[in-house]
Structure 1
Amino acid sequence: MRVVCAVILVFEAVVIGLFIPVAISLEGMAPTTAASLWGGMAAVALVLSGLQKRRWAHYAAWALQAAFLFTSFMVSGAMLIAVVFVSLWVTGVILGRRTDEMKAAHAARAEAEAAAQRGEDGGGSVTTAPSRQTR
């Protein structure tokens, strides 16, 4: 799950960064305001993508999704993009969890099969082949 979420955050950082020139040119927003708002969010998305192995970073990325959705009201047409990325995030979390569960089940099944094979061999005892007798 964490890998899928990290990839989504990297792509999201690029799109968030592209909101800066759109906000400046179409909405007439001050460059410093646009750069600090969406540039900061893009930087946070990149940092969080690298830290997805940590639980707190995953929850912080959820907060970033909410902030991204909230700030998209400031730029016309950005709401659709924000909804798409939040949907990708939710889908990535759901499918990532399912994938993690399937990997864990597969690993447990492989371990059980390996344990069963060790049990059939008599616990690792060495068997010798019958010797040939010459006449």
Structure 2
Amino acid sequence: MRTLCASTLIGEVFIIGFAGLVAMKDPGLSTATVWTVSGIAMFLCVALCGMVTRPGGVALGWALQIALVASGLVVPTMFVLGVAFAALWWASVHYGRKIDEAKARFAAQAAASTPDAA
């Protein structure tokens, strides 16, 4: 699960950076505000890559997905991209867990079929 979720989060780092560039064109937003918010969001994505398998990591990921969709209020294209990445996040969590379960099952079968060396 960790690899799939981390891949999605790293993709989001780039999307957030590009959305920051688009948001800078808004005359109502200062450059400092745009890059402070974008920088914090990008940092959270990278930090969450290492926390995704810990308790609450997936929930934090969902909170980040909601924030990404909500950023469509500033950059309307982010509604579409946010929903797309939320779907990728769901798929990463869902299929990542299935892969982890399959790996554990295969490891248990391999351990059961290998005679002890003792």
Q: The TM-score by the shorter chain falls in which range?
A: 0.7 to 0.9
Match of 1:52 in 2: 52
1:66 CA drift (Å) = 1.3
1:44 CA drift (Å) = 0.9
Stretches of structure 1 that go unaligned for 5 or more consecutive residues are 125-135
Higher Cα radius of gyration: 1
1:65 CA drift (Å) = 1.1
1:8 CA drift (Å) = 1.1
1:35 CA drift (Å) = 1.3
Instruction: Please list, as runs of the form range in 1=range in 2, the aligned pairs for 1:1-135 lying within 5 A after superposition.
Output: 1-25=1-25, 27-28=26-27, 29-114=29-114, 117-118=115-116
Given residue 46 of structure 2, which amino acid in structure 1 is its aligned partner? L
TM-score of the superposition, structure 2-length normalised?
A: 0.87
1:17 CA drift (Å) = 1.4
Matched positions, count: 117
Distance in 1 (alpha carbons) for counterparts of 2:44 and 2:102: 31
Which has the larger displacement, 105-114 or 85-94? Answer: 105-114
Distance in 2 (alpha carbons) for counterparts of 1:50 and 1:7: 11
- The answer on whether the counterparts of 1:3 and 1:52 sit within 8 Å (CA) in structure 2 is no
Distance in 1 (alpha carbons) for counterparts of 2:79 and 2:101: 33
Superposed CA RMSD in Å reads 1.8
Identity of aligned residues (%): 31
Distance in 2 (alpha carbons) for counterparts of 1:86 and 1:71: 13
Structure 1 segments (4+ residues) deviating >3 Å: none
1:13 CA drift (Å) = 1.1
- The answer on whether the counterparts of 2:6 and 2:49 sit within 8 Å (CA) in structure 1 is yes
